Amino acid sequence: MTHNPRCAFRICLLALLAWAQQGAAKQPKTVAKPARDSESGKGAQRGSRAGYPSRWWAPVPEAQKASWEVLPQAAKPGEVILSKRHELGILSNFAATPFTLRGKRYPGVEGFWQMMLYPEGPDDPRAKFAGIAWPHTREAVAQMTAFEAKAAGTLGEENMKKMGIDWVTFEGKRITYWSKEKGEHYRLIVEAMRAKLEQNPKVEEILLSTGDLVLLPDHVQEEDPPPEWRYCKIWMELRSELQEKARQRRLADSKK
């Protein structure tokens, strides 16, 4: 049988994702908190790793680095890489974190994202375009996760280029796919990430455990990508919302 290195790589990546999520599920229920200043009671000065799990920055040999990967040790003071090698990988769009959005169930954000590149039905002009083949149905892509969903999306993007279009669809509406503005596609991705957060308690627990660290992707990103591609920034904004809600609850409790 012919050895397929791409297939082997995908299998290894999926195994790595499964291992990371299994590790996250086994973590203690207590949320790691930043170290406290003994005088002010405020969080430790930005840049400190005190109070956070040291495994988040554990060096990985360069020889074990995947071609797409940014290793944990690349983080500067005050930063952390959302590596799939440990529990922070649950914040990746690749993670299998099921959620329901507008009445439909998705196993993860990646499948939700990539399905929009596919025709919504036989009357969709993308489905009728001459010379274009669609190896998957939109429904099938929606149920994919991780590298499988990403690969399906890559095929979808190639078809978009062949057709000369710059839009995808959701609920029958055409949406600009690659924009520097926070348009409808951006809002949909944020909506999906918020649903993932609210419907998966472990996601909220791990996100809050990152305190005030700057979150960074574990893969090489395009230069100056659209805002929805900057998922780490979206997570930090959602984290700030959670932290403010917690602050308001503590304030209200103190007045009782």
Contact between 171 and 191 under an 8 Å Cβ cutoff? The reply is: no
pLDDT at 222: 86
* Residue 255 pLDDT grade (very low, low, confident, very high; cuts 50, 70, 90): confident
> For 32, how many CA atoms within 13 A lie in the half-sphere containing its CB?
22
Contact between 209 and 82 under an 8 Å Cβ cutoff? The reply is: no
Average pLDDT on 135-161 reads 98
Phi-psi label, residue 51: left if phi above 0, alpha if psi -120 to 50, beta otherwise? left
* Distance from C-alpha of 110 to C-alpha of 129, rounded to nearest angstrom: 25
* Distance from C-alpha of 62 to C-alpha of 71, rounded to nearest angstrom: 8
Does residue 102 register a pLDDT over 70? yes
* Distance from C-alpha of 35 to C-alpha of 46, rounded to nearest angstrom: 10
Closest of 28, 31, 19 to residue 85, by C-alpha:
19
**Percent above pLDDT 90 for the chain:** 77
CA separation (Å) from 93 to 76, 90, 96, 184? Answer: 23, 8, 8, 18
* pLDDT one-digit tens code per residue, 31-52: 444 433 322 233 444 557 989 9
> For 57, how many CA atoms within 13 A lie in the half-sphere containing its CB?
18
State the average pLDDT for the chain: 87
* Residue 256 pLDDT grade (very low, low, confident, very high; cuts 50, 70, 90): confident
Average pLDDT on 145-170 reads 98
* pLDDT one-digit tens code per residue, 114-129: 999 999 999 999 999 9
* pLDDT one-digit tens code per residue, 50-82: 899 999 999 999 999 999 999 999 999 999 999
CA separation (Å) from 250 to 243, 253, 254? Answer: 11, 5, 6
* Distance from C-alpha of 152 to C-alpha of 158, rounded to nearest angstrom: 10
Average pLDDT on 20-30 reads 48
**Percent above pLDDT 70 for the chain:** 82
